[in-house]
């Protein structure tokens, strides 16, 4: 059975790897989101981080020790940075510009989706309030009919 320290090391390695993979999936052409500090912040927000004695520091990713905790994540960050730089310097600037435009379009669409979801929530609340009001009015009508029937 692994010791607590070994378990924590493996847990931190998994969290670092998950953070690297998550940030790789969120590329933008204006800014490289895969940085050492971003990886550390995201890894330290994982569910497993609650069980660690200390959070992961940026220094962990700066170490070039092959046996170090953040060595693999460090190399992935460096490799991604090289790829990102090559993409930014590519001769096909038109493609990069188109991708930037698409990225902006995606941001606008995401904003619209959020607004629509907010509207949906508001409308559902209104519907619920109207249903409650309708039920109350139905009850009043029934009550008034009973009173009328009692009088006649």
**In this prediction, what percent of the chain has a pLDDT beyond 70?**
93
Distance CA 131, CA 126 (A): 9
Confidence of residue 1 (pLDDT cuts 50, 70, 90): very low
Closest CA to 18 of 68, 76, 67, 84: 76
Same domain flag for 109 and 141: yes
Q: Does residue 2 have a pLDDT over 70?
A: no
Is the pTM higher than 0.85?
Answer: no
Same domain flag for 59 and 98: no
pLDDT at site 145: 94
Same domain flag for 68 and 109: no
pLDDT digits (tens, 9 = 90+) for 117-137: 999 999 999 999 999 999 999
> Got the DSSP string for 75-104?
HHHHHHHHHHHHHHT-S-HHHHHHHHHHHH
Structure token pair of residue 6: 């070994």
What's the total number of domains in the chain? 2
Could you tell me the residue range of the domain that residue 117 belongs to?
Answer: 91-152
pLDDT digits (tens, 9 = 90+) for 99-117: 888 989 999 999 999 999 9
pLDDT digits (tens, 9 = 90+) for 51-79: 888 888 888 888 888 887 888 888 999 99
Torsion angle of C-alpha atoms 29, 30, 32, 37, degrees rounded to 10 = -150
Same domain flag for 102 and 78: no
Structure token pair of residue 66: 């092959």
Cβ distance 74 to 36 under 8 Å?
yes
Distance CA 127, CA 121 (A): 10
């Amino acid at each position: 059975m692994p010791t607590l320290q070994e378990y924590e090391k493996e847990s931190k390695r998994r969290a670092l790897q998950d953070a690297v993979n998550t940030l790789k999936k969120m590329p933008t052409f204006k800014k490289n989101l895969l940085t050492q500090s971003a990886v550390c912040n995201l890894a330290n927000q994982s569910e497993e981080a609650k069980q660690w004695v200390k959070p992961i520091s940026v220094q962990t990713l700066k170490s070039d020790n092959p046996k170090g905790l953040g060595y693999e994540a460090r190399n992935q960050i460096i490799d991604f940075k090289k790829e990102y730089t090559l993409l930014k310097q590519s001769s096909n600037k038109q493609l990069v510009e188109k991708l930037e435009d698409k990225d902006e379009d995606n941001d606008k669409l995401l904003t619209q989706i959020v607004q629509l979801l907010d509207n949906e929530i508001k409308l559902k609340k209104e519907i619920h309030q109207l249903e409650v009001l309708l039920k109350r009015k139905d009850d009043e009508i029934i009550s008034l009919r009973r009173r009328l029937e009692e009088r006649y």
